[in-house]
Structure 1
């Protein structure tokens, strides 16, 4: 399968990478940890105290990144889910705490529900959006709810849109200290969604999470490999020891597995024209499995190779461990993804049996 992208997508991802590497530094993340991190869990109820990189977010909005990933009717560049995944990967590489994924998802959902003006406000960064999980048994915990201006809740009966002031948000503390909260209160009456938009959004969210995990573990592996060349034991870099080199090599294979499965899932969502079938569901479940499985392995490899430094809060390695574990938990764990994939195979058979 050809995963090459056009020049617009390449330029956008290069722009996000450049801004991220300049602005989301270890020092800036250390400052955010002091604001809302270990030992400060009672804070985080507004933009001034939440673990939110406001400067990077402002630069992303100013550069038009959320707008470029919005629906084409709102002026988006038509980069598809593949473009979104490549940008989310860049955010994962630097562990950027910014609400880009919910901005993209909310813009598409609001546009599908006919709320074009509000969708434009979200896509242009004039409002921050949080998007709740849809479907039965969904968790009331919503990422970015404490600092959101609008909370969007897709469901079987349509799209519920609430102003932040109309609901109650109780701050929670995810394992990576990211911004999230429990949302309670009566939802606004639902607006009709065009087609299977809620189903597509659920799959888009999972691809976004897998793409973010791809960036997290890719950067974690690079940092760990670099550390293994400078840390010496018995007069040699530890990276020359067979056991360490083998774990790093296995990590490289894991990163490739997440990369390929995530891009395949994004490709299938773009190809399904908004009506996901068995192929899209199977691809997303496969990407989710690899993101969970590889994320778990690489998080522990990074800590083990770093030794005690890997869990030292004054060093950056621990943030990658926390981010990888948080993504694993958000994705539902590897076993859950295999069960989902098994359901698809049991009902529809192998969706790729006759694929080229």
Structure 2
């Protein structure tokens, strides 16, 4: 399968990487930790105390990144889920706390529900969106809810759209100290969506998470390999010891597994024309398995090879550990993905038996 991308997608991903490497520095992340990080969990619920990289987000909006990934009907560039995955990977590489994934998802859902003006406002960054996945519990935990202007909530009867000021949000403390909160309040009336829209959004969310995990563990491996080449013990770099080198080599294989399975899942979603079947579901479950399983291994490899400094808050390595674990938890764990994949195989057979 050919995973090559067009020049527009490659240039957009390169732009996001360049801005991330310039703006999302270790110093800027330490400043965010001082707002809402270890030891400051009792911070307020406004935007000034959120672990939100406002400068990077403003630059992404100014460069038109969320708009480029919005539906084509409101000016998007038509880059598909593959384009979204490649951009989310870049956010993972610098563990950037910005609400790009919910902006993309909300823009597509709002447009599908006929709320074009609000979809455009979200895509252009004039409003920050949060997306609640289902409304089956009384107070769901929603990423980015504490700073959201609009909360989009999916349910069996359609799409609920609520102003952020119209609900109550109780700040929570995820393992990576990301911006999240429990949302209570009336979800409002539902707007019907086309068949398959919510199903497609659920799969898109999972690909976003897998792509973010790809970036996190890729950068964590690069940083760990660099550390192993400069940290000396017994008169030689620790990376020359067989046990360390073997773990790093295994990590390289894991990164490739996440990369290939995530791109395959994104490709299948783009190919299904908004109506995901067994092939798309199997591809997403496979990508999630690797993102959880490989993410777990690489997070621990990074800490173990770094030694004591791997969990020292003064060093950046701990952020990659926390980000990888948080992505693993949000994905639901490797076992959950194997169960999903097993359901597909049991009901539809091998969806790739005749694939190219």
TM-score bracket for this pair, using the shorter chain length: over 0.9
State the 1:195 CA deviation: 2.5
1:110 and 1:116 in contact (8 A); partners too = yes
Aligned counterpart, 2:249? 249
State the 1:166 CA deviation: 1.1
- 1:156-235 matches, within 5 Å, as 156-235=156-235
Aligned counterpart, 1:50? 50
Going from structure 1 to structure 2, the CA distance change for 1:274 and 1:123 (only over 3 Å counts) comes to same
State the 1:112 CA deviation: 0.2
Instruction: Find the aligned partners of 1:33 and 1:300 in 2 and give their Cα distance.
Output: 22
1:19 and 1:56 in contact (8 A); partners too = yes
- 1:309-324 matches, within 5 Å, as 309-324=309-324
1:44 and 1:179 in contact (8 A); partners too = no
1:44 and 1:146 in contact (8 A); partners too = no
Instruction: Find the aligned partners of 2:345 and 2:135 in 1 and give their Cα distance.
Output: 22
Structure 2 residue 301 is the aligned partner of structure 1 residue 308: no
Structure 2 residue 13 is the aligned partner of structure 1 residue 13: yes
Instruction: Find the aligned partners of 2:154 and 2:322 in 1 and give their Cα distance.
Output: 29
Q: Secondary structure of 2:49's partner?
A: coil
Q: Secondary structure of 2:48's partner?
A: coil
State the 1:269 CA deviation: 0.2
State the 1:165 CA deviation: 1.2
State the 1:279 CA deviation: 0.3
Aligned counterpart, 2:113? 113
Q: Secondary structure of 2:181's partner?
A: strand
Instruction: Find the aligned partners of 1:256 and 1:336 in 2 and give their Cα distance.
Output: 21
State the 1:134 CA deviation: 2.4
Instruction: Find the aligned partners of 1:137 and 1:185 in 2 and give their Cα distance.
Output: 12
Q: Secondary structure of 1:48's partner?
A: helix
Give the CA RMSD over aligned residues: 1.0
Instruction: Find the aligned partners of 1:280 and 1:310 in 2 and give their Cα distance.
Output: 37
TM-score (normalizing by structure 1): 0.99
Instruction: Find the aligned partners of 2:349 and 2:320 in 1 and give their Cα distance.
Output: 37
Instruction: Find the aligned partners of 1:197 and 1:81 in 2 and give their Cα distance.
Output: 14
2:145 and 2:179 in contact (8 A); partners too = yes
Aligned counterpart, 2:332? 332
Count of residues paired in the alignment: 356
State the 1:138 CA deviation: 9.6
2:138 and 2:184 in contact (8 A); partners too = no
Aligned counterpart, 1:27? 27
1:134 and 1:202 in contact (8 A); partners too = no
State the 1:154 CA deviation: 1.1
Aligned counterpart, 2:148? 148
State the 1:137 CA deviation: 6.1
2:139 and 2:184 in contact (8 A); partners too = no
State the 1:162 CA deviation: 0.3
Instruction: Find the aligned partners of 1:198 and 1:44 in 2 and give their Cα distance.
Output: 33
Q: Secondary structure of 2:182's partner?
A: strand
1:160 and 1:190 in contact (8 A); partners too = yes
Instruction: Find the aligned partners of 1:9 and 1:249 in 2 and give their Cα distance.
Output: 29
Q: Secondary structure of 1:315's partner?
A: coil
Instruction: Find the aligned partners of 1:80 and 1:199 in 2 and give their Cα distance.
Output: 16
